[in-house]
Amino acid sequence: MKTKKLVMLIVTIAVALFVLIPNLSWAEDGAAIYKTKCAMCHGADAAGKPAAKIPSLVSDEAKKQSDDGLAKAVVETAKHPAGVKSIPADDVKAIVAYIRSLQK
């Protein structure tokens, strides 16, 4: 009887994981990442700081860039600190998506 209950518990857990795991997102929210990694320089509104030569991410020029171009700029810009350059790819995509939402 105990074995049957144990098997049922394991099956129930397996089914729950099978249902839940595809819906889990390991990438953080793009807005949250932007606020912690990017907003200090580019501003909360992503307008940049022209006097400090920090580009706007909502300018017409930025809007023309492809998503891959923006993602590449996040990880390859020489002025970005190491913490920004080492952001995981899924998080970079989330940041780009958030920037696109600000551009509208």
Quote the tokens at residue 20: 């839940």
Q: What CATH class is the domain 27-103?
A: mainly alpha
Rounded alpha-carbon distances, angstroms, from residue 6 to 12, 18, 19, 59, 86:
10, 18, 20, 60, 44
pLDDT in tens, the chain (104 residues): 688 889 999 999 988 877 766 655 555 689 999 999 999 999 999 999 999 999 999 999 999 999 999 999 988 887 888 878 788 888 899 999 999 999 98
pTM of the full predicted structure? 0.71
